[in-house]
A and B are shown apart, each in its own frame.
Chain A
Amino acid sequence: MIPGDLAGADLLLPLLFAGLMAFAILVYVILDGYDLGVGILLPLAGSDLERDTMVSAIGPFWDANETWLVLGVGILLVAFPRAHGIILTHLYLPVALMLAGLILRGVAFDFRVKVEARRKRLWDHAFFVGSLLAALAQGTMLGYWITGFSATGFALGIGVALAGGYALLGAGWLILKSDGPLQERAVFWARLALWFTAAGIAAVSLATPLVNPRIFAKWFSLDTLFALLPIPLMSVALVALLAVFLARLAQDTRNCNQFGLQRWAWAPFAGSATLFALAFLGLAHSMFPYLVPDRLTLWEAASATESLWFMLWGILIAVPAVIGYSAYCYRVFRGKAEPLSYY
Chain B
Amino acid sequence: MALDAMTLARIQFAANISFHILFPTITMALAWLLLFFKLRWGDRDNTWGDLYRFWVKIFALSFALGVVSGVTMSFQFGTNWPGFMEAVGNIAGPLLAYEVLTAFFLEATFLAIMLFGRQRVSNRVHTLATALVCIGTTLSAFWILALNSWMHTPTGHVLRDGVAHAADWSAVIFNPSFPYRFAHMLVASGLTTAFLVAGLSAYRLARGSGAPDALLGLKVGVYLGAMLIPLQILLGDLHGLNTLAHQPAKIAAMEGIWTTQRNAPAILFALPDAQTRENHYEIAIPGLASLYLTHTWDGEVRGLDDFADHPPVAPVFWSFRIMVGVGLLMLILSWTAASVLLRGRALPRYLLLCLTATTFSGWVAVLAGWYTTEVGRQPWLVTQVLRTADAVASNVTATQIGVSLSLYLTLYAVLIVAFIAVLFSLARRADAPALPEPQRLNLREQPP
A residues near B, CB below 8 A?
46-50, 59-61, 63-64, 66-67, 69-71, 73-79, 81-82, 84-90, 92-93, 95-97, 99-100, 102-104, 106-107, 109-111, 114-117, 120, 180-181, 303-304, 306-307, 310-311, 314-315, 318-319, 322, 325-326, 329, 332-333, 340-343
Contacts and interface: CB of A to CB of B under 8 A. Distances in A.
B56 to A, nearest CB: 5
A70 B104 contact: yes
Nearest to B95: A78
A100 B407 contact: yes
Contact of B64 (A90, A97, A106): A106
12 contacts: A60-B116, A63-B64, A95-B75, A95-B79, A96-B404, A103-B68, A110-B64, A115-B425, A306-B165, A307-B89, A318-B102, A342-B56
B288 interface: no
Given A64-B109, A111-B422, A325-B110, A77 B93 contact: yes
Contacts of B82: 84-86, 88-89
B411 A78 contact: no
Nearest to A304: B90
B434 interface: no
Given A319-B101, A322-B101, A114 B57 contact: yes
A145 to B, nearest CB: 14
Given A110-B64, A332-B113, A71 B101 contact: yes
B105 A322 contact: yes
A261 to B, nearest CB: 16
B117 A116 contact: no
A78 B96 contact: yes
B342 to A, nearest CB: 32
Interface in B40-80: 53, 56-57, 60-61, 64-65, 67-72, 74-75, 77-79
B101 A314 contact: yes
Contacts of A64: 105, 108-109, 112
B241 interface: no
Contacts of B91: 307
A69 B68 CA distance: 12
Given A82-B86, A85-B82, A88-B75, A117 B439 contact: yes
A314 B90 contact: no
A102 B97 contact: no
A102 B68 contact: yes
B393 A89 contact: yes
A89 B104 CA distance: 25
A93 B112 contact: no
Contacts of B113: 60, 329, 332
Contact of B67 (A61, A63, A318): A63
B166 A307 contact: yes
B233 to A, nearest CB: 35
Given A63-B111, A67-B100, A310-B166, A103 B404 contact: no
A210 B360 CA distance: 58
Given A67-B104, A81-B89, A92-B396, A73 B74 contact: yes
Given A63-B64, A315-B101, 11 more contacts: A49-B445, A70-B74, A71-B104, A73-B78, A74-B74, A77-B96, A78-B96, A79-B93, A114-B422, A306-B90, A307-B94
The majority secondary structure among interface residues of chain B is helix
Contact of B121 (A61, A78, A100, A332): A332
The majority secondary structure among interface residues of chain A is helix
Given A114-B61, A318-B102, A332-B120, A92 B79 contact: yes
B344 interface: no
Contact of B78 (A66, A77, A116): A77
B89 A303 contact: yes
Interface in B362-399: 393, 395-396
A310 B157 CA distance: 14
B438 interface: yes
Contact of A88 (B78, B115, B448): B78
Contacts of B98: 311, 314
B390 to A, nearest CB: 13
A124 B75 CA distance: 26
Contact of A89 (B89, B395, B426): B395
A84 B78 contact: yes
A303 B91 CA distance: 10
Interface in B394-448: 395-396, 400-401, 403-404, 407-408, 411, 415, 418, 422, 425-426, 429, 437-440, 442, 445-448
A77 B100 CA distance: 12
B85 interface: yes
B292 interface: no
A82 B165 CA distance: 15
B64 A100 contact: no
The 4 closest A-B pairs by CB, nearest first: A78-B93, A85-B82, A60-B112, A96-B404
Contacts of B75: 73, 88, 95, 99
Contacts of B163: 304
Given A111-B418, A111-B422, A332-B113, A77 B67 contact: no
A311 B98 CA distance: 8
A102 B69 CA distance: 9
A254 to B, nearest CB: 15
A283 to B, nearest CB: 21
B363 to A, nearest CB: 18
A113 to B, nearest CB: 9
B124 interface: no
Contacts of A73: 74-75, 78
A86 B65 CA distance: 28
Given A78-B89, A89-B393, A117-B438, A326 B109 contact: yes
Given A77-B89, A110-B61, A318-B101, A88 B71 contact: no
B109 A48 contact: no
B396 A332 contact: no
A46 B100 CA distance: 38
Contacts of B307: none
Contacts of A104: 411
Interface string B134-158: 0000000000000000000000000
A286 to B, nearest CB: 23
Contacts of B112: 59-61, 63-64, 329, 332-333
Contacts of A78: 89, 93-94, 96-97
A303 B60 contact: no
Nearest to A109: B64
Contact of A181 (B165, B396, B429, B448): B448
B277 interface: no
A106 B67 contact: yes
A89 B407 contact: no
B411 A180 contact: no
A64 B64 CA distance: 11
Given A82-B86, A116-B425, A107 B79 contact: no
Interface string B242-257: 0000000000000000
A69 B71 contact: yes
Given A67-B108, A329-B109, A103 B72 contact: yes
